[in-house]
Structure 1
């Protein structure tokens, strides 16, 4: 999650590009894998102190060229210094902290990997499987001992000259492949793994609180956690005592309480804003949860005032 600071639009001297300017994006098919490069950009978070806990459905590589930043993966903050990097696979909760007045300078690369349509002969090397190894990446900080920084710098230089060309995309994928061959023993610091059940509940909670749409895409949520929806639904119900859909309804009702208390917006509009499909469904769900209608709740609040 990157934020553009308008006070620092100047180019980064060693890369010759502006902060948060997307240098390239595009798709590349290699054997049985389709790699989507979402973006490659320079990150200089001047003026910002933190990025709150969140997760996403793509891979994100962060490399620090100058200065330092901090990152956590659901636990304590880790320091990342110049010449170090970390990788965030899909579904991994993380947060960042910055020095607002002395920000680090780094590179951020985001990508997705999907199965291609090509039929591979039996016992043939699978590009998809090699790239998908990164989905099991453990939280930690890596020292750049094999030239990843130079590879990324070269990608920036080629992107400036050629834009989103096949050669440039292939070079970016080469950088991704190089990470798959990195030995886990090279980690400088590894985040202590939290209880897996607690971590799962936390990730689902973040996803549901971020989702503002009418229909929760539970299959997308399950995919981001590398689980089938059936397995996720059963595990979540066992751990929390309620279904994912019930929890989503509860979150939306809680949002509506604040709007009923603090605004004079029509109740039908509140149902729409909070992502509930209709006024009748909202009223029925509200009464089931709180024992009264939204109007009765609002009127009671006004009587107290």
Structure 2
């Protein structure tokens, strides 16, 4: 393990055992991240016991596969994945036999700092996504296959290596800037992942709603019935449906019913006066008015324009004897 002692900041080398999310890092003066240790190691057939640190930790998978287990979750990790564990989170590493895993670990706490180094309060005050991350208080953050994270970590470790060989203040400053950049980038990616997850959930609800409409369009369904079917408040479902489909639930339902009516008129001999019942409308007069509004012609005019033969009696069948 390579331990990095940094210079140029007030407060000595003591590393707090408090959480990354502790408000005192932003409200009790100017504090910045302090890298406590970093190390590369290749693991194989290794089952670590549960343990915890007094500082936060990044674990990045350079190659291979492993599992990081916390007291709340089990996370399968592969090449390019990053996990960030808050201080005090019980965890262990599991690497199976025959599948070596090479990892980079960076552990950090906080210390008081003067000068130009970005402080936690500065980062939070000037970066809304970072401030949001601090509000979320996530014990574990997992980011999958982001190449820029690897680049950031590689540059950070390069500077840390140089710091071990030189006490030049400029290099120590670069280390702190890269660490701040890494934290801000993690905050942005967490926000992106949260947005993508929310969008996936919204698409799921909208898809469920459209499936329900296609299944029950021929009944007297209402928007509240569809919302109940997908376990959402009707107003919220209406909003996300309109946002994703560029039409309201009622507009979608009406268009579907008219398309089904056109199919019945063109391909079957169902009497026009009965088509309304087949598409879930209880008023034949309303159906005719709605159909003309949507198509520009009446149901009878539409059927006449198609002249589709659907009865076997309308076909002349020639039987050919091949013997």
* TM norm structure 2: 0.42
**Quick check: which has more Rg, 1 or 2?**
2
* TM norm structure 1: 0.44
Q: Which is richer in helix?
A: 2
